[in-house]
Amino acid sequence: MGLGSLSPVAQYITAVKDEQKVADIYVKTDATTKRYLEDFRKKAPSITTPKQLMDDFTSNKVVLEAYNLGSVAKQPALEKKLLTENPHYHKALAATSKNAAWLAFADAFDKIRTKTATLNVPLEPEPVDTTSPTSSGAYSMTPDFIEATAKSYELRQYENSKDLQKSGVGNALYFTRTMQSGKIKDINDLMSDATIMKVVEAVNGYNPDQFAALDFQQQQRIMKQKVDLKEFTDADGNPDAKKIQRYAERYLTVVQLHPEYNQIDQPANIMDLFGGDTGEDGILALFV
């Protein structure tokens, strides 16, 4: 029996056991994804600057979508800031935005730079305030970095496949692995991720179209009242896989009862404030 013949909840339970394995199988059947990955793996070792990355369509697409930032490709000014600013500088866009995905993306590329002595920033620091607003040094995409990026891209392509988006299983899988990663530490982190928001809105009985019509402060106030991040952790504050998966299953049940909550082309909620503008400057206007 193929996964497609299972109910959404059963399909989710089957896939979540080893999503990477299922995604690897999916990639073998999707010619475009397979070609993009082959192209990225071939070119990545020679990409050493932000410009080279941004000028290479397929490599840039793989990298951005691996971090769930596909829309940033339409905002080159934003992407350039994330790639060139030192994310550990307290005035850097990645730091001031409070956007977990932006910070993860900027930090990942900052870590693979060949550091200069003037930066005085350790290779893998905790985010701290430094005196250098600009990162410097060429990229050095190691085989491990390239493969990790490729695997993340595979997962997003699998989760974004038409059937999984229609059923909500793709969102449920993304929600599960993101919450289990521990990257969502507060309400701002949660609200900066459009996919996570879709899941949370549905579980709390909100139609995403209607919720998106509220202003940011209203959305934030509701989320703080409705969502306690402790419900996803154990007694020690670590991500609790069972709790997270049960929440994802609740989402899938709600979507089956209210399919209108999972319209693929619906507005991107709070992400309109975090990269939804297709203009060249977009969100940057809020931070200058």
Read off the pLDDT of residues 27-83 as tens digits, 9 standing for 90 and up.
999 999 999 999 999 999 999 999 999 999 999 999 999 999 999 999 999 999 999
User: Domain check: are 128 and 186 in the same one?
Assistant: no
Picking from 89, 112, 144, the residue at the C-terminal end of a domain is 144
Q: What is the C-alpha separation between 20 and 17, in angstroms, rounded?
A: 9
For residue 111, which phi and psi values (nearest 5 degrees)? -70, -20
Residues 6 or more apart from 8 whose CB is under 8 A from it?
167, 168, 169, 172, 252, 255, 256
Give yes or no for residue 273 having a pLDDT over 50. no
Structure tokens that stand for 119 in this block: 């930066």
Which region among 3-7, 119-123, 154-158, 245-249 has the lowest average model confidence (pLDDT)? 119-123
User: Domain check: are 110 and 201 in the same one?
Assistant: no
Q: Has residue 186 been placed in a domain?
A: yes
Q: H helices within 44-132, ranges in order?
A: 50-55, 57-66, 76-84, 93-96, 100-111
Q: What is the C-alpha separation between 62 and 37, in angstroms, rounded?
A: 7
Structure tokens that stand for 34 in this block: 């397979």
Q: Has residue 269 been placed in a domain?
A: yes
User: Domain check: are 9 and 74 in the same one?
Assistant: no
Give yes or no for residue 219 having a pLDDT over 60. yes
User: Domain check: are 218 and 252 in the same one?
Assistant: yes
Q: Has residue 241 been placed in a domain?
A: yes
Q: Has residue 154 been placed in a domain?
A: no
Q: Has residue 261 been placed in a domain?
A: yes
Exposed, middle or buried: residue 200 (CB in 10 Å: 0-12, 13-18, 19+)?
buried
Provide the whole-model pTM: 0.81
Give yes or no for residue 234 having a pLDDT over 70. yes
Q: Count structural domains, the chain.
A: 2
Q: Has residue 153 been placed in a domain?
A: no
Q: Has residue 216 been placed in a domain?
A: yes
**Mean pLDDT in residue range 137-150:** 91
Confidence (pLDDT) at 124: 39
User: Domain check: are 125 and 98 in the same one?
Assistant: yes
Confidence (pLDDT) at 118: 33
Q: Which residue range is the domain that position 100 belongs to?
A: 31-144
User: Domain check: are 130 and 243 in the same one?
Assistant: no
User: Domain check: are 44 and 128 in the same one?
Assistant: yes
Q: Has residue 24 been placed in a domain?
A: no
User: Domain check: are 75 and 193 in the same one?
Assistant: no
Q: What is the pLDDT of residues 157-213, one digit of tens each?
A: 999 999 999 999 999 999 999 999 998 999 999 998 989 999 999 999 998 888 989
